[in-house]
Structures are given as structure tokens and as C-alpha cells.
Amino acid sequence: MAIERTLSIVKPDAVGKRVIGKILSRFEDNDLQVVAAKLVHLSKVQAEQFYAVHSERPFYNDLVNFMISGPVMIQVIEGDNAITKNRDLMGATNPSEAAAGTIRADFASSIDENAVHGSDAAETAEQEIAFFFKPEEICEYTR
Ligand code: ADP
Ligand code: MG
């Protein structure tokens, strides 16, 4: 399997519940390494641009407003098969459909406030990482 990088966001609901550490532990406990991270309060323009792919969806405005309702913790995580592995750890978009033991099953309360974002493919991972991080902000580790 290839070493990949993916973008993960702990959304405002989970930051507010003070479970940043528990969520990042899920990554670390599953051999995914945090290689860049920052806590930020997104601007409306940033949230609109980040979720532009959903701009025609009925939930777009609610999604943008939720994402700017408080700080978010944004990280690049790296490891074998990181993109799919992160999606598996996250669980389904709707927490009521998320498998037991996944981040969304354990920490999310609704499809609107579902605790985490994770890139869904190699191309989006690259775009989303570049949206938030300069190359020099991403750390290299000796594994
Ligand atoms: P995911 O975050 O699992 O990749 P999507 O990319 O489909 O899911 O949607 C992006 C985000 O938009 C979701 O995480 C969720 O916060 C919100 N969302 C998606 N579908 C709905 C919906 N039907 N109603 C409300 N919010 C939604
Ligand atoms: Mg998505």
C-alpha cells in the first residue's frame, strides 16, 4: 500500500465538545501520523470556497454557517492508505448510519453536525491540503 496524505477537519461541534484529542487519537492509534495541524476559525469566504463542490445542494448554506460557527481543527494525516483509512475511521456521513466504533457514531449528533471532514479521493485530498497548508507547513518524519 502507498503512503498517502489526506485532509481531516474536526468540525465546530466536536471542537465544542472538547473531543479534539479523542479524535486525533483515533488516527494515531491506527498508524496515521499528524504531519500538519492548526486550529482556526474559518471565514465565510473560506468555508464557501472549501465546500464549493456542494454549492448547488440544499444544505449548502447551513453547512457553511455551521462550519463558521466556531473554531475547527484542521490536520494533514499521513500513512498507508490514509484516504480510505480515514474515511473508514470517520464512518458514514449520517451518524445514525455510521458503524459502531467510528468517529461519527461516537461523537456526532446529526448529519448537519457530524464531527469530522475527510477527503474522499486522491485528487480532492491534494486540493484540500493545498487549500489550507503551504508545502513548508507539512512536516517530514523519519519513519
Ligand atoms: P462527507 O462529509 O461524508 O464526505 P458529503 O461530502 O456528502 O459528506 O457532504 C459534506 C457535508 O455536508 C457532510 O459532512 C455534512 O456535514 C453535510 N451534509 C451532507 N449531506 C447532508 C444532508 N442531506 N443534510 C444536511 N447536511 C448534509
Ligand atoms: Mg465529502
Q: Is the shortest distance between the CB of 117 and ligand 1 below 6 Å? A: yes
> What are 119's three cell numbers?
477527503
Catalytic residues: 117
pLDDT digit string, tens, across residues 36-66: 999 999 999 999 999 999 999 999 999 999 9
Successive 10-residue mean pLDDT values, the chain, 143 residues: 95 98 98 98 98 98 98 98 98 98 98 98 98 97 70
Q: What angle do CA 102, 105, 108 make, to 5 degrees?
A: 120
Q: Is the shortest distance between the CB of 112 and ligand 1 below 6 Å? A: yes
Taking the CA of residue 90 as reference, the ligand 1 atom at the shortest distance is: 3
